[in-house]
């Protein structure tokens, strides 16, 4: 399954540091990791929210794309959190290491917004 992840500058740099192989551990105030199901939703977050956040995002937003093993991701329920296309998975922060282990190939950059 192809998923997307909107991130800010700090998180992007940590992903880059991993060789685009893994997402960074969550901060204590971030109990879930939420990859999203479509580029439209990821773009909305990256361009409208991340670009307005100087602390975590450095006023930059990136849309990342990656493939995850279908059998693994199917254990999680799709969450709709607004409009019909605001769909995401909620991965508990303590399960992010296992999630990273099921990423197939590299995480790629689809777009960057300032």
Domains annotated for the chain, with CATH where assigned, are 2-23+31-113 (3.20.170)
CB 21 within 8 A of CB 7: no
- pLDDT, one tens digit per residue, over 46-105 is 999 999 989 889 999 999 999 999 999 999 999 999 999 999 999 999 999 999 999 999
Q: Is the dihedral of CA 39, 42, 45, 50 positive or negative?
A: negative
Please provide residue 113's backbone torsions phi and psi, each rounded to the nearest 5 degrees. -125, 145
Count other C-beta atoms under 10 Å from residue 13's C-beta.
12
Q: Report residue 47 as tokens.
A: 């361009």
45-55 residue pLDDT tens = 999 999 998 98
pLDDT, one tens digit per residue, over 3-42 is 999 999 999 999 999 999 999 999 889 999 999 999 999 9
Structure-block tokens of residue 108: 């790629």
Quote the CA–CA distance of 75 and 59 in Å, as a whole number: 34
């Amino acid at each position: 399954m192809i998923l997307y992840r909107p991130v800010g500058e700090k998180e992007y740099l940590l992903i880059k540091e991993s060789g685009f192989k893994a997402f960074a551990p969550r901060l204590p105030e971030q109990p879930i990791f939420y990859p999203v199901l479509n580029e439209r939703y990821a773009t909305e977050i990256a361009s409208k929210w991340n670009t307005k956040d100087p602390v975590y995002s450095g006023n930059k937003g990136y849309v990342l794309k990656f493939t995850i093993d279908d059998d693994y991701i199917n254990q999680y329920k799709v969450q709709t959190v607004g409009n019909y296309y605001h769909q995401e998975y909620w991965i508990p922060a303590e399960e992010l290491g296992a999630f990273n282990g099921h990423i197939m190939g590299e995480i790629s950059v689809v777009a960057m917004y300032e």
